[in-house]
Chains A and B, each alone.
Chain A
Amino acid sequence: MNRRDFLALLAASAALTVPVGRSAWAAGTNGQATDRKLVVILLRGAVDGLSVLPPWSDPDYYQERRRIAIARPGEEGGAIRLDARFGLHPALASLVPLWQAGQLAFIPASGSPDPTRSHFDAQDYLETATPGTKSTGTGWLNRLLATLPPQGSGDRALSLGATQPRILTGTQPVTILGSGKAASRQSALDRPRIASAFDALYRGNDRLSQQYRIARNSREQLRMTLESEMDEASRGAPLPDGFAGDAQRLGRLLRGNPALQIAFADLGGWDTHINQGSGEGQLANRLEPLGKGLVTLARELGQDWDKTVVLVMSEFGRTIRENGTGGTDHGHGNVMWLLGGNIAGGRIHGEWRGLSERYQSRDVPVLNDYRAILAAVLTQHLRLGDRHLASVLPDIPVTAAGWQLLRS
């Protein structure tokens, strides 16, 4: 779908539109402070959405995936029934209480309208929110940070992982936390004598000095949380490695810290071209810790869970038909996940037409543009106004037409 089609679609659905933005959203206005938080989790490598959210009542699903389909609810290793159309992968059973509490929702047939099946281009588009344009230098989370009024002082955005992801690239400073136990290791920056010599090396206005000073300040700020973690570790109760540990660390850093508004984490290993398995197997083994990590994050956030939305997304979906090696190849539409204490959860959002209508005769189409979904989250959750929304999501008109993703 190109921009014109997109506009046409919006116009066509105008009657159903729930208008948002400055004029319509009573509680929020442009530039008003919000103590709400947004966590984005990017599954790099294109997770197989048809396994995450198997459309178990669709006969095509079992026709096309004789070896890797998730069995029907009630069968052995079968999907967990969510509604009359969809189930949940059994390895994500830990998420069921969130679903039942109305704090988990899915949006199938969603993603970027750009046709690329290149992981790297598609991830870039997801992170810049400008599908089809590669030259965009900033990520949408960083642009969002530039429009959100700060809450007090201190770090505003955290990223897990060793490097700065494209989604957080831009003018606003971001704290890169690192992942795993190494994140809480002692640093030379904690040693006053050495650190003061470093201060003298990096006292200029150049880029390195700027980054150095951010690191120095964050280190001070994070020290309390990290030190308590180190204490725990020394008492023989270390955080688990992997996503569960990262999620716990993230939750603790976010909880009760109004200044921290944005967090990002990415997880790889979803490019299952071969032997992806079904109820059990390679993909199941990746999904299970992800589900448990998300539950941990919700728990650690405590009362701030109500103020948080977690978005889980991936660059594109995978082929409807399994390939010749027990896996799936690069497809198009995928599933977006939405979690949070105050989301309109326990339901499947957006348009879905079953597996018979296909993009390029092979893939799930994108019926729900990810930017419209982001727009809904930004306006309804973070209360972004029209003008600011346009700077975060430059390619689309300022609207979240038809989407009601938060409880009103």
Chain B
Amino acid sequence: MLRHWSALLVLLALLPLAHAASEDHNQQTALFVLNRLGYGPAAGDVTRVTELGARDWIAAQLQPEGIALPAETARDFAALAQRQRQALSRLSELASAGRPDTAEKERRQALRREIFREIAEADLDCRLQHALRSPRQLEELMTEFWFNHFNVYSGKAEVRALAGAYEREAIRPHVLGRFRDLLGATAKHPAMLFYLDNWQSAASGSRRSEDSGLNENYARELMELHTLGVDGGYTQQDVTELARMLTGWTYDRRALVSPESAFRFNPRWHDTGSKRWLGETISNQGLLEGEHALDVLARSPATAQHISRELAQFFVSDTPPPALVSRLARRFQNSDGNIREVLQTLFASPEFWQSARTPRFKTPYRYVISALRLQGITQPPARPVQAALLQMGQGIYGWPTPDGYKVSESAWLNPLAMQQRLDFATQAGLGRLDREAELANPERMQAEITPLLGVNTLQVIRSSPPALQPVLLLASPEFMHY
């Protein structure tokens, strides 16, 4: 470790810095970890990390339950969760008795839209405020990472009401835990069951309605995207056989007020025939067939490799060094998919620290969240923020397909992206995004990230009128990177 640190110091000395004092180095290091393990500095963060030391700060981030939330934050988060649950509980108002007439149908549809909107707004507030306010920044970042890995899209009917619950119930509790737990939680959550259609998949002819049978959507993405990876060595037959093993994995629509307990296994829909999957013969074991499949997939070396590569891409580089990916994959396998341990290896790796030399282009989500954090905006109106994100192509819960958003520069850097970011910087920097918020103090904002700013940027800001300075800080090339 010591060796890595001295390597970092050497490397930081190579950066074009205005000053090379060691205090500056410490601040640079603090900014690096705040940017890579979280959504960038909010007021006072750099000082806090510098005082604690970057290594200890990282260790603390890996044990988020040990980081106390400020009392007000804790209270607000609890209130947000309560608001989400209350909005969800209104779904019971939609429960129907008997056959409705036309007027009643219309009334119910309007009510459904209203309830869905209420849930979606609570979900957006919850996601945004956690990212903006939580001192457990790594937990927030990993929530984004895993949601994206197990992506669902709120534009698909029921998912609109379930995306926030999915994040809270299936993703968040496991973001640093065991991969198998995460996999199982997503597999059984109604958001995923609905999004990838498995909830209706049934053995041929097993349901009363004539339109019953297999749907292989989830089975394919489970192997291609969630676990083995597209080159993980499975065939079309493996897809179909896995879909058969997962028949009967569904949920109870009447139980959606508490989605995490809505999962049901319906033995009557299950395909009881024997299956041949990944070279193994599977006899009829009902629900256990699917559980077995998740066990096998979670422990496969291909999965370890696939997840490790994604993590390295997320934290280190668009094209991560293969040696690093192999080390992470080994740790993944040796620890039986313990995500915390894999991340420990990652954050201790020389490759991670060396990547400080090549700042990365922020995704729109990172850009927007980091801009709000730097400005000290903690409770923005969710709608304009989401609208800006959608325009930039990265709305919250807004990616339609199961592959999730990309993280690479090539996916996000283009002329329009520059224009949109500068538009956002202008809107936010002039205080037009959140009129309630106190206008950000440009000097405080600048002080927080000064060690990152190059000569040109400092000069441009200095020679501009004060009202424009926050805009230019957010618009600067240095702030576009992390």
Contact = CB atoms under 8 A, between A and B. Distances in A.
Interface in B427-443: none
Contacts of A268: 400-401
Interface string B388-426: 000111000000110100000111111111111011011
Interface in A94-135: 116-121
A135 to B, nearest CB: 10
Given A273-B197, A324-B211, A325-B201, A360 B456 contact: no
Contact of B419 (A173, A187, A204, A324): A187
Contacts of A174: 414-415
B47 interface: no
Bin the interface of chain A by size: 35 or more
Interface stretch (A24-32, A85-93, A207-215): A207-215
B213 A219 contact: no
A120 B403 contact: yes
Nearest to A67: B211
B209 to A, nearest CB: 10
Best-surrounded residue of A117, A176, A194, A326 (most CB of chain B within 10 A): A194
B89 interface: no
A332 to B, nearest CB: 10
B475 A198 contact: yes
Interface in A254-291: 268-269, 271, 273-274
Interface stretch (A161-169, A238-246, A304-312, A337-345): A161-169
Contact of B215 (A44, A162, A198, A324): A324
A45 B401 contact: yes
Interface string A35-55: 000000000110000000000
B348 interface: no
Contacts of A194: 426, 468, 471
A218 B391 contact: no
A201 B416 contact: no
A123 B416 CA distance: 22
A182 B460 contact: no
15 contacts: A118-B220, A161-B393, A162-B420, A175-B415, A194-B426, A197-B471, A202-B418, A207-B413, A208-B413, A323-B215, A324-B200, A324-B204, A324-B215, A325-B215, A330-B220
Interface of B: 197, 200-202, 204, 210-217, 220, 224, 230, 236, 239, 361, 391-393, 400-401, 403, 409-420, 422-423, 425-426, 456-457, 460, 464, 468, 471-472, 475-477, 480
Interface of A: 44-45, 67, 116-121, 161-164, 169, 173-178, 182, 187-189, 193-194, 197-198, 200-204, 206-209, 211-212, 214-215, 218-219, 268-269, 271, 273-274, 323-327, 329-330, 360
Minimum-distance CB pairs A-B, first 4: A324-B213, A162-B393, A176-B416, A215-B415
